[in-house]
Chain A
């Protein structure tokens, strides 16, 4: 008796159907999305390059997505916009150059879709990565000391040394960001999805 064929058919058909619905059709709908070009020729979004792209790699390697999301929910759904995490919800067009997209699924830490707008200062980011408790008392973010080097201060403090608030300095040492830290901060200070898009009427 050949119930096996019936099983085979049903099993394949069900997964093919969902593949079509959840993957193929969205790809048809969104695959052709293009960036916007302003009157003055600026493109939005731009693919990450150089140090920003490197920094995206550091974000991926160190698993930042497991505590941080990068998606602003629509107005009236949750309070992302009221909280100041963005001026509009994020849309598919924001991510056309993101492979993989770093949407995240946890908010142990705040959403970062527009962190460049909230925290444009590089030194803030360096301090925060070196020891989150310096800038954010009570934070449970892990410190990333391995993204920095401690350099004994002889005559001159290196120009890119971190500038600590009083009480946090390491006596006799300057803390200098490595290339990975600089790349990561370049990436973080590029995260700005406030550019208006036609999908979200203002």
Chain B
């Protein structure tokens, strides 16, 4: 049993120490900046804002992209 306790507590201590170190580092180097862009990052020229990208089967024209319509 004792070796398992050592492993468990050792792991907890190791993770805890790295977590605290990383937190201090993150605060010092100011990691929280500029959020507005993030929401747009999943769009691009192929699937831009305004384009609906899902439809029931059989309702998409085979010849072009779906565009903003049912």
Cross-chain contact of A12 among B19, B26, B29, B32 (Cβ < 8 A): B19
B12 touches A9 (CB 8 A): no
Q: Interface readout for B4-21 with A: 1 if CB under 8 Å, 0 if not?
A: 000000001001101110
Q: Interface readout for A1-29 with B: 1 if CB under 8 Å, 0 if not?
A: 11101101110110010011000100000
Interface size of A by CB at 8 A reads: 14
B31 at the interface (CB under 8 A from A): yes
Task: Looking at the assembled complex, report how far the CB atom of A41 sits from the nearest CB atom of chain B, in whole angstroms.
Answer: 29
A6-B12 CB under 8 A given contacts A13-B19, A13-B23, A16-B19: no
- Docked Cα-Cα span, A190 to B18, in Å, equals 49
Which secondary structure dominates chain A's binding surface?
Answer: helix
Residues of B within 8 A of A2 (CB): 29, 31
Task: Looking at the assembled complex, report how far the CB atom of A49 sits from the nearest CB atom of chain B, in whole angstroms.
Answer: 21
Q: Interface readout for B32-57 with A: 1 if CB under 8 Å, 0 if not?
A: 10000000000000000000000000
Residues of B within 8 A of A13 (CB): 16, 19-20, 23
Cross-chain contact of B12 among A1, A5, A16 (Cβ < 8 A): A16
B31 touches A6 (CB 8 A): yes
Task: Looking at the assembled complex, report how far the CB atom of B26 sits from the nearest CB atom of chain A, in whole angstroms.
Answer: 4
Cross-chain contact of B19 among A1, A9, A19, A20 (Cβ < 8 A): A9
CB-defined A-B contacts under 8 Å, sample of 13: A1-B31, A5-B22, A5-B26, A5-B31, A6-B23, A6-B31, A6-B32, A9-B19, A9-B20, A10-B23, A12-B15, A12-B19, A24-B12
4 other A-B residue contacts (CB within 8 Å) besides A16-B12, A24-B12? A2-B29, A6-B22, A8-B19, A13-B16
- Which 10 residue pairs spanning A and B have beta carbons closest together? A9-B22, A6-B26, A13-B19, A12-B19, A9-B23, A6-B31, A9-B19, A5-B22, A12-B15, A3-B31
